[in-house]
Structure 1
């Protein structure tokens, strides 16, 4: 007996559900809970984006990134940090899960406890996406711009493959840094400097 295995080289896998299926926010949340081994996002037009769990190498580098952000958040005290398993519902209706994010404390506290428990209807002020080996760059750039268009003030897209960092800021053209040693949080995260040594 021969077993046929199909390997998907590039993610995300896109599922088109509408107009046949139109998941409510609660149904989408439950769908994600039933499929915890997958990273699932939803576009503003209702497509589901299915991604496998992060590979070990990328996961380790993301852990380092989260650790650096946690240290700053813990010292600064003006907001809350989130890891890559956190989903946010953006104002345009998309559900996104950045690799790291930060939200100002007053905006977070303005949400009800019920809204905080699921995919909070809020766009973080700061987001980071770390490109893994299986990721296409173009969709990540589109997602980064979506964050900015929905209220994010600052975003880092870290492209390890090309050793570049794209910096997204509200109202400013995207800046691309070649092989930087670190990148600053600017005025959005005063004093936060991401050391890229262990992330490269």
Structure 2
């Protein structure tokens, strides 16, 4: 059985169930994401940590987020990528009211990390949804196959097999993710 919720119901549900990882599809379907296992959680932390270090050290204006941050996409979906970044100019254009709940914006950069229980087709659809809603760059990292699918606005998806590093250029100038730290 699928449960549909309005955006207002979703905000209330998320506020009263902060321990749950919830998302809402563009059609209103409530999506409950189970907690990750220790291995996936460790790998998420490493990716978000590297993004944070880049953000802190590079002086590049913008805002970085972890997997507990939700965003209302232009299509009405409320999504929480595993890691994300929004350029400062777009962030500053938001009004204060939406910043108190979920900002109405699609991140410029998103990362989705496939856990053992994630259906690949659902994550691929989610990556296309991000692009369709304004993301410029997305990485779908699959540790099971040691592949990374690169999603770029206006380009075909590139799949890298067992890459050692990923570059955030030109969206995140100077950001490089060492995948040896993630695969470990």
TM-score w.r.t. length of structure 1:
0.87
Choose from 126, 133, 145 the match for 2:128: 145
The equivalent of 1:121 in structure 2 is: 104
The equivalent of 2:148 in structure 1 is: 165
- Given that 1:168 and 1:174 are in contact with CA atoms closer than 8 Å, whether structure 2 keeps it comes out as yes
- Number of equivalenced pairs: 182
CA distance in 2, matches of 1:168, 1:77: 22
Structure 1 gaps of 5+ residues are 1-13
CA distance in 1, matches of 2:171, 2:140: 16
- Give per-residue Cα distances to partners, 1:101-144, cap 9 Å, x unaligned: 00011111111222112110000000000111111111000000
**3-state SS of 1:16 partner:** coil
The equivalent of 2:89 in structure 1 is: 106
CA distance in 1, matches of 2:28, 2:9: 13
**3-state SS of 1:176 partner:** strand
- Given that 1:32 and 1:40 are in contact with CA atoms closer than 8 Å, whether structure 2 keeps it comes out as yes
In proportion to residue count, which structure has more helix? 2
Determine if the alignment matches structure 1 residue 47 to structure 2 residue 29. yes
Taking structure 1 as reference, are residues 15 and 36 closer, same or farther at Cα in structure 2, changes over 3 Å only? farther
Structure 2 gaps of 5+ residues are none
The equivalent of 1:30 in structure 2 is: 12
State the structure with more CA Rg: 1
CA distance in 1, matches of 2:60, 2:175: 12
CA distance in 2, matches of 1:150, 1:76: 27
Choose from 158, 161, 166 the match for 1:178: 161
Q: Does 110-119 or 154-163 show the bigger shift?
A: 110-119
CA shift for structure 1 position 199: 1.1
- Give per-residue Cα distances to partners, 1:138-195, cap 9 Å, x unaligned: 1000000000010000000000011000000000000000000111112111111111
Choose from 158, 170, 173 the match for 1:190: 173
Determine if the alignment matches structure 1 residue 95 to structure 2 residue 78. yes
**3-state SS of 2:64 partner:** strand
The equivalent of 2:49 in structure 1 is: 67
